[in-house]
Structure 1
């Protein structure tokens, strides 16, 4: 997703790292493996990045919930779980919202992002006002679902609708993401399997 924003990054054996500022709400480090030797190398990658003097409170996605970096100056931002829907299929929409695929607008989603055939963002309207939405990105034979927004009463229906929209937009691919709290409950009600835990760390305030 950061590549689609025009942000550079680098895949190491056990970690994805980016020593430059990334779009808001995206991490600068993502762990890719969970072995004990891998964890030591991942911590070292975080230490190196700390020396790069990245501005602000940048984040680390601890994909397996195994990377304890509190002593390196990080605190837990979010505890979550992976979710997966194996083969969503197009189905009638159930939320009662009017859905549309969003176009360019605003700094958070630059124009170049909408030229990426792997990217799609949908917004749901009620009485003309946007009240729900979600972002899809296709990569490595899966579709990532993120940035899901919905009122509490609408959540299960919104998740079901986004599954249908994903199946119509990127057919035949599993849908993956991660959530916590009420959003995790809503995703489960919409047919997602709940998987292993993960953790998001953020650089502690100075």
Structure 2
């Protein structure tokens, strides 16, 4: 479906089974229908819908809001001097116990930042044809804006010339904004309410 990405199998924890890809009125109706069809498949446990444009209202279908967030974007990140004072390392097979299969996709990169030998920050990057997605950013509150700047620079060095996108909420959204990311439109993550 052009308007919706659907995974009808159990997904890893914190990953959605449905992601909306467009926001037209007809598309929204078809997206709700896709959710209804998936509901009838009786997926086990709680599962989620990523409402990428904050346009679905699926509370009546048994969903509750898990997260409200905003898209973020940095149009032209450039490699720069690291701002956090951390030592950054690109994770790979065997590092920190990550399985080798995780690194089989050349578009996927994970970075960890160390202070005095201990990992205190990190983030993952995933390249598509036109953008690089930045997700799973972790940092101590005092380091957050600097970590976002560092990850932006690492993304520019790893995947040059591509804009950087993601979504965040709360303090992380503020940290990304302080690091030069534009705050975009809202999105919503819905989760199937417990029966």
TM over 0.5: yes
Structure 2 distance, partners of 1:35, 1:74, is: 21
Distance 1:34 1:109, change over 3 A: farther
> Where does 1:65-76 land on structure 2 (aligned, <5 Å)?
65-76=54-65
TM-superposed deviation, 1:129: 1.1
Residue 40 in structure 1 maps to residue 29 in structure 2: yes
* Match among 180, 189, 194 for residue 191 of structure 1: 180
Task: Please give the per-residue CA displacement for 1:113-146, whole angstroms capped at 9, x wherever unaligned.
Answer: 2021100000111111111100000013100000
Quote the Cα distance in structure 1 between the aligned partners of 2:77 and 2:131. Answer: 11
For residues 37 and 87 of structure 2, the distance between their equivalents in structure 1, rounded to whole angstroms, comes to 47
User: Residue 43 of structure 1 aligns to a residue in which SS?
Assistant: helix
How many corresponding residue pairs? 194
Partner of 1:128: 117
Could you tell me how far apart the structure 1 residues matched to 2:34 and 2:150 are? 39
**1:205 matched to 2:194:** yes
- Secondary structure at the aligned position of 1:132 is classed as strand
Within a 5 Å distance, the mapping from 1:69-84 to structure 2 comes to 69-84=58-73
Unaligned regions of 5+ residues in structure 2, if any?
none
User: Which structure 2 residues correspond to residues 120-159 of structure 1 after superposition, within 5 A?
Assistant: 120-159=109-148
Runs of 4+ residues over 6 Å off in structure 1: none
CA distance in structure 1 between the partners assigned to 2:40 and 2:110 by the alignment:
35
The TM-score normalised by the length of structure 1 is 0.91
Say whether the 8 Å CA contact 2:19–2:50 is kept in structure 1. yes
* Equivalent position to 2:10, from 13, 21, 24: 21
Q: Name stretches of at least 5 consecutive residues in structure 1 with no aligned partner.
A: 1-11
Q: What TM-score, normalized to structure 2?
A: 0.96
After TM superposition, the structure 1 = structure 2 runs for residues 51-62 of structure 1, keeping only pairs within 5 Å, are 51-62=40-51
